[in-house]
Structures are given as C-alpha cells and as structure tokens.
Amino acid sequence: MRIAVVGGGAAGFFGAIQAARQNPQAQVVILEALAAPLTKVRISGGGRCNVTHHCFDPLLLSQHYPRGSGPLRGLFQRFQPKDVLAWFAAEGVALKTEADGRIFPESDQSATIVRALVQAAQRAGVQIQTQHKVQAVQRQGSEWVVTWQGGGLRCDRVLLATGGSPQGYAMAQRLGHQILSPVPALFTLQMADPDLRALAGITVPQARLKWLDEPLRGPERKHREQMGPLLITHWGISGPAVLRLSSWLARSLHQCHYRGRVQVNWLANWSREQLHQRCQVLRQQVARKSLGAYRPALDLPQRLWRYLLAAAHIPPNRRWAELSQQELERLLAHLTAQVHTVTGRGVFKEEFVTCGGIPWSEVDSRTMQSRVCPGLYLAGEILDMDGLTGGFNLQAAWTTGWVAGQALGATDHG
Ligand SMILES: Cc1cc2nc3c(=O)[nH]c(=O)nc-3n(C[C@H](O)[C@H](O)[C@H](O)COP(=O)(O)OP(=O)(O)OC[C@H]3O[C@@H](n4cnc5c(N)ncnc54)[C@H](O)[C@@H]3O)c2cc1C
C-alpha cells in the first residue's frame, strides 16, 4: 500500500509514523512544501514547544477547545496527553510539567521534539520529501494522484494535513469539502485608553473580562466572561484571561472587526460586597492615611491603583476618612467593572491558531476519513478545531494525526 501525507507538520508526522508502524509493508511519504519539516513545532511555545497539557481526563481536556470539543472528547479516549508523554518517553525525550500544567521538553528546546519526530519517522521507514509544494490531489479510479510542480505520485490513500494553509483548504474544496471561513483565535486586544497603555508591564493575578457588545453568536454568548491573570501591554491587554476571551469569541470578535467594549474587573478574587466592606474598614482603620498611599488589596499593583483613583476622579491625597459615599461607589465601579474601548486585535507571538476549516460533519472521527471523499484522511488544524493556549493545539494535532495514522495503515477498509 502507498500512502501520501501532504504537510509535514505535527499532525502529518504523527499520521505518517503511526501508519508506517501499523503497516510496515506500506510505503509512506511525507510531502512538505517548505525546505524543512515541522517549522511550526520549531517556533512553538517561544522556541520551547509546549507539547501538551497536564490534563488526563478526556472530558475535562475537551473543554479547552472552543471548536471541535465534541469529536475530540471521543478521540482523547484513544490518544491523549498521557499517551503523548509515553510516546516521547519511548523516543528518549523527557518532558516536564510546569506549575500551570503546560508540558515542555526538559531541554526547553523545540529542536528536541523536532529531532525525535524526524528520527522516529526515518526509523519507521517514512520518506520525507521537502520542497514539495503539493498543487493538486485528485482521484483517478481506485487511485489518488498527488502532484507538485515538476512531479507527482500515485497512491492508495492520502492524508491531508496542511494546517491553516490556504492551498490546503483549496485542495479540500476541490475534493468537495466545505471550508468554514478561517479567522484568527488566540490574540491580544488593543485598547483605546493611553493612560492604561502607559502601565505596560503591570500584571494582575486574577481579572475578569466581560465582552459587552453584540454581535455574539449563541454558543459564544455563554463564554463572554473569562477570568485569569492579565498583563497590560504597550498596545492594550494580554495574558491568559484575554487569550481565553479571544479564543472563545473568535468569530464574534471577527464579525465586529475587533472593536467594541470590554468590562474589566481588576480584582476578580474579591466580590464587590467584600471590597465594599474592606473600604469601609479602611475608612476607620487607616483614616488619616491618603488613598494614594494605601490600597485596599495587595494584589492590586500600586501604579494601577493610582490609575484607578484618577479614573474615578479621586485625588490621591484624599484621606481614607474623607472618602465620600459617592466617591466610594465610583471607585468600586472602576475596580470591579471598568469599561474600556477595544480598538483592534493584537498578536500573541507565542502561539497563533485559526478557527475554521473543514467541518466535523464531513469527517468520520473514528478514523479521520473524509465522509465526502473515501480514501482521503484529514488531521490537524485543517479541521474546524482549535484550543486555548497551553499545549492544547499541538495535542489536537497529535491525537487526530495518530488516529488517522492507525486507520491509514489498517488493511481492512478502503
Ligand atoms: C508561533 C506559534 C507558536 C505556537 N506554539 C504552540 C505551542 O507551544 N503549543 C501548542 O499546542 N500549539 C502551538 N501553536 C499551534 C500549533 O503549532 C498548531 O496547532 C499545530 O502546528 C498544527 O499542526 P498541523 O500539523 O495541523 O499544521 P502545521 O504545523 O501548520 O503543518 C502543516 C504543514 O503543511 C505544510 N503545507 C501547507 N501547504 C502545503 C502544500 N500545499 N504542500 C505541502 N505541504 C504543505 C506546511 O508547510 C506545514 O509544514 C503555535 C503556533 C504558532 C504559529
């Protein structure tokens, strides 16, 4: 049997290796457009490659995917982060888990992962052809013809694993697949307020963000509030809370051209009631101290506190005892529900993914075979699936690649 894998990324490599291991008689070839395979793996995680996430429960794990969670839940029953750890351990690569659950190679170098994948592929007898930019994948009778500039090959099965590449989408479309329009997920937000941006570098441990504007699509509506650490940057806001929001609301935010209003609660660990009580206590306990010198919570950075006082039009030299009821209300509103104008989308350099691609209704998730084109298999980011930041995107590529590889190598179906 001859198997062509179009795209030498994470999903393509896992698919090719698994197919070759499953069926040692099969001739498996990876066709990669670029001069080197696995370029995204190489740059992933800021060069450290966040391989997967320490979450071994398929149901919990699947909840980290704004798109694709349903089929992925079933797929994770078959190949999940524990299996990734075992897979790389068998290849001699030790992985380590960081405090937030992200898993990296112990070397802290993505090159370790790239090397392991290339060596595993070579040992399994997979041929790796770089600088082979595939232009067409066509069915001819019972065979497939895969062509690139200056050449082509015939094979029995094809795995299309071209990630978010427009050429890959176009080839899938020509084979009869729909493509849900790809839009970015996992980005930061640009903010209008220059005084906020002047606080670049400040982080808060637990913020809550709420997207205030329509349009919000039905399923996205329930994710319009996200919590987590937040980082103020030169252009706006970043950090886990922002990335989660951008991921869950990727389509809505695209629809409104990344413009709208977001409400920020800077102290999400506190309820408004608790903060109110805390301020009442301070009015008594530190009555003679100025507001500027004494902040209500230690997890509120001093510069951010002064900015919030200014936003609430309260002079920093006002003493706690002199804080009027009206001022207290204004202050609480800025602390827990400050409204900001978002002017655009920023980038997130450590990880970038697109949502959209081939809909799951057109794929048999037991085998990753196309329902539209028998003999064609699909894996990785070409599908309408994407996860939150933290190793979830590569995990989805490993899992779908592995499952596709099992089916590609099997001899009992067409
Ligand atoms: C900067 C950055 C950092 C990231 N960091 C992380 C991280 O740390 N952890 C994580 O989980 N996720 C991370 N991601 C996301 C992760 O890299 C992707 O989800 C994952 O690589 C998808 O794998 P894939 O194999 O589907 O696609 P890709 O990795 O994109 O591979 C597709 C391959 O197909 C090739 N190709 C495309 N068209 C053709 C063609 N016509 N012919 C032949 N070959 C073709 C491409 O050159 C490419 O090599 C990051 C992404 C970026 C951009």
Mutate to test the pocket of ligand 1, among 84, 109, 132, 165 (most ligand atoms within 8 A of CB): 165
Token pair belonging to 256: 């409104």
| Rounded Cα–Cα distance for residues 414 and 322 (Å) | 80
- Which of the listed residues 34, 40, 137, 167 should we mutate to test ligand 1's pocket, taking the one with most ligand atoms within 8 A of CB? 40
Give the integer Cα–Cα distance in Å for 199 and 256.
27
How many Å lie between the centroid of ligand 1 and the Cα of residue 169?
14
pLDDT tens sequence across 44-99: 999 999 999 999 999 999 999 999 999 999 999 999 999 999 999 999 999 999 99
| Cα distances (Å, whole numbers) of residue 195 to 66, 81, 188, 234, 276 | 33, 43, 18, 10, 25
**From ligand 1's centre to the CA of 72, what distance in Å?**
18
Q: In what order do the strands lie in the sheet with 143-148?
A: 134-140, 143-148, 151-155
- Domain edges within the chain: 2-183+351-409, 187-347
CA-to-CA distance for 164 and 398, rounded, in angstroms? 16
- Strands 2-6 and 27-31, bridge-based pairing: parallel
Spacing, Cα 40 to ligand 1 middle (Å): 5
CATH of domain 2-183+351-409: 3.50.50.60
Ligand 1 atom 21: the closest Cα is on which residue? 40
Q: Give per-residue pLDDT as tens, 221-271.
A: 889 999 999 999 999 999 999 999 999 999 999 999 999 999 999 999 999
The C-alpha atoms of residue 9 and residue 238 are separated, in whole angstroms, by 28
pTM of the full predicted structure? 0.95
User: 309 C-alpha vs ligand 1 centroid, how far in Å?
Assistant: 45
The closest residue, in CA terms, to atom 8 on ligand 1 is 45
- The type of residue at 293 is A
At which residue do the structure tokens 């969670």 appear? 69
d(CA 256, CA 401): 34
Cα dist from 169 to 150, 233, 279, 358, 382, whole Å: 22, 34, 56, 8, 7
| pLDDT above 90 for 397 | yes
Mean pLDDT for all residues in the chain = 96
Q: Which atom of ligand 1 is nearest to the CA of 10?
A: 25
Q: Express each pLDDT in 320-377 by its tens digit.
A: 999 999 999 999 999 999 999 999 999 887 788 999 999 999 999 999 999 999 999 9
